[in-house]
Amino acid sequence: MAVSNTQIVFDDLYRIFTDLAIVVGIIVFALMVYLIVRYRDRRSSQDPEDTPRLGRIPIGRGHGRNVLVTVTLSTILLAVLIFTSFAAVDVLFPASEPAATWCYGVPAYNQTQAAGQSCPRLEASGHQFYWTFSYPRPNGTIHQDVGMFRVPVNSTIVLDVTSNDVFHDFGIIEFKIKTDAIPGRTNTIWFVPYHAGNYTIQCFELCGTGHYYMTATLDVMSVPAFLSWYNSTGLTK
């Protein structure tokens, strides 16, 4: 069962690569077995007329059609893989991000919900060796959490990822998302979590001696649970 939209995109792409590899593999190995058996060495075997011989210029074998078929099939395969890969990248890293919906149901943001407008972006920042997560308050100030990223289930999260010190890399294996966390720069990712639960956020860039324990928790909460947490932090003011 998919835990996020990003996982579905990734798994679909992975399946296309795997299925094509299986088809090509079956054809190649079947052909290989057939040719090995068909042209095995026998007492009556003779070298064909066009066998290359030392000291003689090889004669044309007239196999141009085979080359054409091979190149054409390879091109088609490559084109499918390239286009499906770019399509997946387009979904995960679009030119403009989809509207964030995590703040729907928060009283201070009700107007934006009615108009179908976007919620403010959230921010994740890497530090040696922990993650912080920032939520803007309606009054313009920021609420920051350390090591715990709470989001409501089935909502669109648009996340700006950056770093406070060295290069880090923000990633969630189950969600199949990952992006660099670079000081002075912002990389934006988005996702829709489908199931409440805890997921591990990890740093994927060797960033120092504490890199191996640089994890955080993504807590995907039910909408009522998220809203009551949100209110309890004073975020609505």
Query: Maximum Cα–Cα distance for the chain, whole Å?
Result: 92
Using the minimum distance from each CB to Cu ion, give the nearer residue, 97 or 180.
180
Q: Is 216 in the site for Cu ion (CB under 5 A)?
A: no
Provide CB contacts within 8 A for 172, sequence distance 6+.
Answer: 178, 199, 200, 201, 202, 218
Smallest gap from residue 214 Cβ to Cu ion (A): 4
Distance CA(40)–CA(112), nearest Å, equals: 74
**CA–CA distances in Å: residue 158 to residues 64, 100, 176:** 53, 6, 15
**Site map for Cu ion, 186-215, x if CB under 5 A?**
-----------------x---x------x-
> Considering beta carbons, is residue 203 or 221 the nearer one to Cu ion?
203
SS3 83: helix
The site string for Cu ion over 110-149 (x = CB under 5 A, - otherwise) reads ----------------------------------------
Write down the least CB distance from residue 212 to Cu ion, Å.
10
Alpha-carbon 91 to chain mean position: 10
DSSP string, 111-140: HHHHTTPPPPPEEEEEETTEEEEEEE-TTS
Point out which span in 68-76, 80-88, 105-113, 168-176 binds Cu ion (CB under 5 A).
168-176
Q: Does residue 161 touch Cu ion according to CB under 5 A? A: no
Is the CB of residue 230 less than 8 Å from the CB of residue 139? Answer: no
Residues in contact with Cu ion, counted by CB under 5 A, come to a total of 4
- The residue among 121 and 168 lying less far from Cu ion, judged by its C-beta, is 168
Nearer to Cu ion, 13 or 181 (CB): 181
- Footprint of Cu ion on this chain (CB under 5 A)? 168, 203, 207, 214
